[in-house]
A and B are shown apart, each in its own frame.
Chain A
């Protein structure tokens, strides 16, 4: 019981990084970006293949971050330069990434194991703080990491470029009328978003100790689920609260799915039902305001 709670929180925090990325595209830019399903495994693949080649975990994570930014840039260019609709741009990049990720890995899955001499941030952490139980150590580290990311993102979203990103999804005409090139702003936003997603993928690879070519399936919807669960819980209006609610949304979402898995067996819930669970959750939350309005009118 206790174990599944602490593991779920850890995983939720890892997904929180991805959810912050999804928040930038879906909410700030109003750009439904499906690149995520490809850039999440991209980050993991880049990380693992670099560690296999003897690079340290820190450099490999930075490389994963940059690779994600490039994937986002491709989607952004497809949309702004080639004028391909948002959804299709993301699908195209995602499709290309499937092959690219296989190329990077050279096989459909890789394991990161201490026995093979692979170092990760978690092995580094354990070696530096040997006195503390490992699950606590991981938890504290992940909380610290996500708050560092949150604070940096909060600051960024309050810079001149950050404001432009947040205004673009709201009112592109205004952004243009204020002398900002909306295309450039979208490129920056989509790149940053996918950089965070890929970073999340690299963290996840280290956390679970392996990379699988299919680990990205459903990640867009998972990120979106986190964002909207957070919105339902906190309804934040200022950016400091909004980023916090995205993280909380990811953790709560992860706890909910873990609970469904742990206790749902009695009603026949299987691990492969998880995506259906996520999909239904998003559908219900998104449809709720419409259904509520209909009900009011009927009365």
Chain B
């Protein structure tokens, strides 16, 4: 379970450039929940994930994971609870290392790293099995450098690496946005599978409103550093993209503004 209590995050505090990225944001997410997050540019979505992962610290409020108050723990200390994949396909892997070396780094997560060889035949077998399941033909390229792989292959690898150490929480920040539609769908299916099989609490930021409703069990709509809509259950099942947009403008008295948002075919107005 993840609890966020009254989170404020302010950049450049007490300067003319002061920017409130999150304002008094509270949210409780149960295990097994798969939360999709949508919102306008600069709404604070990425900042929210950074607060959960420990890459940013809140100016106020608490972050609680599984009854541990992790508010002031740096990212590397909460890493065993958390897996993360980014929009930028180069961010989830180390390009100059081989596929198996990348995996070995993820495989040792949660343990103190020591002076024994990171890769064993046993580990190679595990890696091969995992990669074969994904079906991208990577299982025979264990010693290739990751820099040689395509964006989709790197993203698949990043997903496997993020989930291999049995984290409780998976954070996805528009992780299919830089992929072609076909690869994006493949990665989405893999994502869904991993979240279901490993019973992960998942957060996925997306700019595709269709995906936001199609995948997951709960949708948060963010604006100006806060959650303006939080829908789940039956209400969510019946929700259409149009309705979602209407609900947004009702609440905020303005139009949903995100130049990258995908409105699919359901909406007629641009």
Contacts and interface: CB of A to CB of B under 8 A. Distances in A.
Interface of A: 155-156, 158-164, 166-167, 170-171, 173-182, 237-238
A163 B101 contact: yes
Contacts of A179: 76-77, 79-80, 109-110, 165
Given A163-B97, A170-B97, A179-B76, A158 B91 contact: no
B97 to A, nearest CB: 6
Interface of B: 53, 55, 74-77, 79-80, 82-84, 86, 90-98, 101-102, 104-106, 108-110, 113-119, 143, 145, 161-162, 165
A116 B266 CA distance: 92
Contact of A158 (B74, B83, B119): B119
Contact of B105 (A163, A173, A182): A163
Contacts of A170: 94-97
Contacts of B76: 175-177, 179-182
A80 to B, nearest CB: 12
A33 B91 CA distance: 25
Contacts of B86: 173
A70 B77 CA distance: 27
Contacts of A171: 90-91, 93-95
A166 B93 CA distance: 12
B101 A237 contact: no
A161 B95 contact: no
Contacts of B108: 160, 178
Contacts, number: 95
A221 to B, nearest CB: 23
A174 B94 contact: yes
A163 B161 CA distance: 15
Contacts of A176: 55, 74-76, 79
B156 to A, nearest CB: 15
Contacts of A181: 74, 76
A164 B119 contact: no
A164 B77 CA distance: 15
B117 A155 contact: yes
Contacts of B143: 238
Contacts of A180: 76, 79, 105, 113
A180 B165 CA distance: 13
A128 B29 CA distance: 73
A159 B114 contact: yes
30 contacts: A156-B115, A158-B117, A158-B119, A159-B115, A159-B116, A160-B118, A161-B113, A163-B104, A163-B105, A164-B105, A164-B113, A166-B101, A170-B95, A171-B90, A171-B94, A173-B86, A173-B91, A174-B91, A175-B94, A176-B74, A176-B76, A177-B53, A177-B84, A178-B108, A179-B79, A180-B76, A180-B79, A237-B145, A238-B98, A238-B143
**Pairs of residues from A and B, 10 with the lowest C-beta to C-beta distance, nearest first:** A179-B79, A160-B113, A170-B94, A167-B94, A176-B75, A160-B118, A179-B109, A176-B76, A171-B94, A163-B118
Contacts of B113: 159-161, 164, 180
B106 to A, nearest CB: 6
Given A164-B105, A167-B97, A176-B75, A159 B80 contact: no
A175 to B, nearest CB: 8
A279 to B, nearest CB: 27
Contact of B97 (A155, A161, A166): A166
Nearest to B88: A173
Given A166-B97, A170-B95, A171-B95, A178 B106 contact: yes
A175 B94 CA distance: 9
A166 B75 contact: no
Given A161-B114, A166-B97, A174-B105, 11 more contacts: A159-B114, A159-B118, A164-B113, A170-B97, A171-B93, A175-B105, A176-B74, A176-B76, A177-B53, A177-B82, A179-B76
Contacts of B110: 179
A178 B109 contact: yes
A182 B76 CA distance: 8
B131 to A, nearest CB: 18
Contact of A160 (B75, B84, B104, B165): B104
A284 to B, nearest CB: 24
Contacts of A164: 105, 113
A167 B146 CA distance: 12
Contacts of B102: 167
Contacts of A160: 104-105, 108, 113-116, 118
B91 to A, nearest CB: 6
B96 A174 contact: no
B48 to A, nearest CB: 16
A177 B82 CA distance: 8
A179 B79 CA distance: 5
A128 B143 CA distance: 44
Contacts of A178: 79, 105-106, 108-109, 161
A127 B74 CA distance: 57
A177 B53 CA distance: 8
Contacts of B82: 177
Contacts of A163: 97, 101, 104-105, 118
A156 B55 CA distance: 29
Contacts of B105: 160, 163-164, 167, 174-175, 178, 180
